[in-house]
Amino acid sequence: MDKKTFRGWINYLESKGLLIRVNKNVDPAYQLGALTEKMDGENAVLFEHVGDYEMPVVSNLCFSRECFRLCMEVDRDKLVEHISNAIEQPEPCTHVESAPFKENIIEGDLDVLKELPVPTYHEDDAGPYVTGGLVIAKDPETGNRNVSIHRLLASGKDTFGILMLPRHLRLCYDKARALGQPLEIAIVIGIDPLTLLASQAILPFGADELEVANSLHGDRALQLTRCTKVDVEVPAEAEIVLEGKIQLEERAMEGPFGEFPKYYSPPEMRPVIKVNTISYRKDPVYYTILPASREHLLIGGLAREASLLKSIRSCVPSVRQVHLTFGGTCRYHLVISIEKMNEGEAKNAILAAMGNNADIKHVVVVDQDVDIFNMEEVEWAVATRCQGDKDILIIPDSLGSKLDPSTNKGIGAKMGIDATVPLGQLSARFKRIRIPGYDELIFEDFFD
């Protein structure tokens, strides 16, 4: 089975021993989240029995960078480059009439929480949240599609509270409101890792994330199909599709919710989605993302790395790789490796990174001999190649992340650390110790 599909990927992980089945009943409130957290970064998990629901629940499907590498079949050091190329070369999707999810359509008297095993995660959360759903909508003026992921509070039988940051879905919604219309949307739950990743691509408004997904799929054309009620196309292989509208004026409390920085985001009056249809394929599997898990951090982090690589490289061509670290919640801490051609380039790379997006807070630049995915190596470079009075750059009072509680409503300092050696010194004063033959040695050869 094609591992670039949702079900194919689950089967692939299981065949590699990377998916654990939980066969005892788990409570969708807290217990499911606690078990998922135990396997964070280690394994995918399939909960066969969740509360009184028939639907199994899968989570941690993209629990490491290695998962994405395997799914895309690229080398570790080429992963971000590969994503960046797909963003540069979107591929138009093909369209089909029929789709498996159209086999079971529920309309009329809906009860989302009766149909779907929506988990409640953290202790202060306002309630059960859909966390792994793609929200697909169209610009009401141009018809251009937009795909994004939003936390969705299951607030009533057929309603969700939604957080829309001032990005593309919000723009579509504001345009619809100006026309006096609610915004039609589809919520897609249960989709392959590459489409999830593409939904987070940093694109200009108007560009279609599904075309990036199609490009990431390679020769397998991503097929779209029109929803049953709303005028929105969704991937035909979706497990579960909810259709509805973001209401024109209705507002309701949404939050608190435990977010990616591992703190709560406070409650506020926010827009409301009214759902009119739930459809799902035969024996559907519900997909959910544990907030602040590696899966959550990576889906957004890899897309941001692709954007960072491109924009830093346009200023500093000697950039080799970038890494948004887990410790920095894949948003705030960036490590850059460069193959320095000119003195001072590390500081230019720091400035370019800080200009790419407001979330970037601390940046470390290292030479090409440092493995930027090994944080012990990065720390070693800071320990032995950096002097605090010359190599640290601090920009006060700039815009950062509003979710970083140490900022003043998002205003805070940024810091860059140049941990590169002086030009030409990698083979002199900074020559690394090395045991001859180490790289070629095969350990097993020395045992019978």
Work out how close the CB of 209 gets to Mn ion at its nearest, in angstroms, rounded to a whole number: 6
Work out how close the CB of 278 gets to Mn ion at its nearest, in angstroms, rounded to a whole number: 25
Q: Which residue of the chain is nearest Mn ion when measured via CB?
A: 168
Contact 73, 194 (CB under 8 A): no
Work out how close the CB of 272 gets to Mn ion at its nearest, in angstroms, rounded to a whole number: 22
CB burial readout 367-396, b (16+ within 10 A) else e: bbebbbeebeebebbbeebbeeeebebeee
Instruction: Give the per-residue contact string, 161-180, with Mn ion (x = CB under 5 A; - = no).
Output: -------x------------
Work out how close the CB of 168 gets to Mn ion at its nearest, in angstroms, rounded to a whole number: 4
Task: Detail the DSSP E strand segments found in 191-298.
Answer: 223-226, 233-235, 240-254, 257-258, 264-265, 268-280, 286-287
- H/E stretch holding 66: helix 65-72
Work out how close the CB of 146 gets to Mn ion at its nearest, in angstroms, rounded to a whole number: 4
Distance CA(61)–CA(280), nearest Å, equals: 20
Distance CA(70)–CA(33), nearest Å, equals: 25
Question: For Mn ion, which is the closer residue by CB, 145 or 385?
Answer: 145
Task: Give the interface segment with Mn ion, choosing from 28-36, 130-138, 160-168, 392-400 (CB under 5 A).
Answer: 160-168
How many residues bind Mn ion (CB under 5 A)? The answer is: 2
Work out how close the CB of 220 gets to Mn ion at its nearest, in angstroms, rounded to a whole number: 23
Question: For Mn ion, which is the closer residue by CB, 206 or 424?
Answer: 206
Work out how close the CB of 215 gets to Mn ion at its nearest, in angstroms, rounded to a whole number: 15
Give φ, ψ of 128 to 5 degrees.
Answer: -70, 140
Task: Give the interface segment with Mn ion, choosing from 145-153, 172-180, 319-327, 372-380 (CB under 5 A).
Answer: 145-153
Q: Record the tokens describing residue 307, joined without a space.
A: 């954007």
- 146 is a contact residue toward Mn ion (CB under 5 A): yes
DSSP 325-378: -TTTTTTTEEEEEE--SSTTHHHHHHHHHHHH-TT--EEEEEETTS-TT-HHHH
Question: For Mn ion, which is the closer residue by CB, 138 or 414?
Answer: 138
Distance CA(135)–CA(200), nearest Å, equals: 11
Contact 129, 117 (CB under 8 A): no
Work out how close the CB of 205 gets to Mn ion at its nearest, in angstroms, rounded to a whole number: 6
Applying CB under 5 A, which residues contact Mn ion?
Answer: 146, 168
